[in-house]
């Protein structure tokens, strides 16, 4: 049995609590937040506290608060030499106060307040200074059905950055598509199977191998028509930049080069 204390009341904290609460091998000893009212609905399931001096003994203290608040909260803890981890993709492990044993438990997934999450689909990036602590974090991930990955700080930061590309930026491309279809009075729904298939394709194939379309085959006529169809300047700029990037990745010789090759 691993005993855990959660600190914070945001999306990550809440999803972790629910997962821990459902796991046989984990006991959530306490849930701390500066404001108790946000956790009121959980008071029958776990002891809720708002005072760090009331914190009891636990195997792992999980600080799941906003990046800027992590260092300060870790300083306020009154005990020492216990395992204290944060859940951020970007905060340095050394930003945690060194009076305790430090670690990171970073779930790499998109969290919505409403949607239930199956932690089997949530890889957890773990980091710890002490080897035994790494083992504890690995067991904690396993107990909620997650696969854990030992990464160092630079790797975690790279994953966080890459996640912005495959999540936030990808979602914005969906948004652009939504605007384009709406502009012609056609349902965005028609694109949903393609959105899903595009994500499924790279589960077994590298993105390099999965690429198709006018940019890759240097279909200048279609590219020109597409740019003309776009109404917003920013959408045109996105089209041009990503087309250029695809062509760079796939070594497509564009206009001038192709001409000179013909000579």
Give the integer Cα–Cα distance in Å for 192 and 244: 26
Q: How far apart are CA 223 and CA 215, in angstroms?
A: 7
The three-state secondary structure class of 116 is: coil
Residue 49 has a CB neighbour count (10 Å cut-off) of 18
169 binds a copy of itself (CB under 8 A): yes
Q: Which of 22, 72, 249, 259 binds a copy of itself (CB under 8 A)?
A: 249
Of 18, 29, 211, 218, the one binding a copy of itself by CB under 8 A: 211
For the residues of 211-226, what is the DSSP string, one character each?
A: --STTTTT-HHHHHHH
Selected binder of a copy of itself within 18, 34, 149, 218 (CB under 8 A): 149
- Residue 108 within binding range of a copy of itself, rule CB under 8 A: yes
Out of 22, 54, 72, 171, the only residue in the binding site for a copy of itself (CB under 8 A) is 171
Question: Tokens 């940019």, residue?
Answer: 215
Among the listed ranges 29-37, 45-53, 131-139, 218-226, the one in contact with a copy of itself (CB under 8 A) is: 218-226
Binding a copy of itself (rule: CB under 8 A), the pick from 234, 255, 260, 261 is: 234
Dihedral sign for Cα atoms in the order 131, 135, 136, 137: positive
If one asks whether residue 175 binds a copy of itself (CB under 8 A), the answer comes out as yes
From 17-25, 39-47, 167-175, 255-263, give the range in contact with a copy of itself by CB under 8 A. Answer: 167-175
Contact (CB, 8 A) for 140 and 2: yes
Rg value, the chain, Cα: 24
Given 24, 44, 78, 165, the residue binding a copy of itself (CB under 8 A): 165
208 binds a copy of itself (CB under 8 A): yes
Using CB under 8 A, pick the residue from 196, 224, 257, 258 that binds a copy of itself. Answer: 196
Q: Which stretch binds a copy of itself (CB under 8 A): 14-22, 73-81, 132-140, 181-189?
A: 181-189
CB of 11 to a copy of itself, least distance (A): 9
Chain residues 32-71 in contact with a copy of itself, contact rule CB under 8 A: 67
**Does 251 participate in binding a copy of itself (rule CB under 8 A)?**
no
Nearest CA to 119 among 17, 198, 246, 227? 17
Looking at residues 2 to 31 of the shown chain, list those that interact with a copy of itself (rule: CB under 8 A): none
Tell me 38's DSSP state.
Answer: G
Q: Among residues 198, 253, 257, 259, which is the contact residue for a copy of itself, using CB under 8 A?
A: 198
The residues, ordered by sequence, that sit 6+ positions from 160 with a Cβ below 8 Å of its Cβ are: 89, 90, 106, 108
- How many angstroms separate the Cα of 156 from the Cα of each of 61, 106, 124, 148, 169? 20, 8, 10, 12, 19
């Amino acid at each position: 049995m691993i005993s855990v204390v959660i600190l914070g009341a945001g999306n990550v904290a809440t999803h972790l609590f629910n997962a821990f609460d459902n796991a046989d091998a984990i006991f959530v000893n306490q849930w701390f937040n500066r404001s108790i009212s946000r956790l009121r609905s959980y008071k029958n399931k776990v002891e809720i506290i708002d005072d760090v001096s009331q914190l009891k003994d636990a195997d792992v203290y999980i600080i799941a608060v906003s990046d800027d608040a992590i260092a300060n909260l870790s300083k306020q803890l009154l005990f020492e030499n216990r395992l204290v981890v944060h859940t951020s993709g970007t905060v340095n492990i050394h930003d945690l106060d060194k009076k305790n044993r430090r670690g990171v438990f970073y779930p790499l997934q998109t969290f919505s307040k409403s949607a239930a999450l199956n932690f089997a689909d949530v890889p957890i990036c773990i980091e710890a200074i002490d080897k035994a602590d790494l083992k504890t974090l690995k067991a904690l991930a396993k107990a909620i059905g997650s696969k854990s990955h030992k990464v160092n700080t630079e790797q975690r930061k790279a994953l966080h950055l890459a996640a912005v590309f495959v999540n936030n930026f990808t979602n914005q491309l969906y948004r652009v598509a939504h605007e384009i279809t709406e502009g012609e009075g056609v349902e965005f729904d028609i694109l949903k199977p393609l959105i899903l298939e595009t994500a499924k394709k790279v589960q077994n194939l590298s993105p390099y191998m999965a690429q198709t379309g006018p940019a890759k085959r240097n279909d200048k006529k279609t590219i020109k028509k597409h740019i003309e169809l776009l109404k917003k300047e920013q959408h045109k700029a996105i089209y041009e930049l990503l087309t250029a990037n695809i062509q760079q990745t796939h070594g497509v010789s564009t206009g001038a080069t192709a001409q000179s090759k013909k000579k």
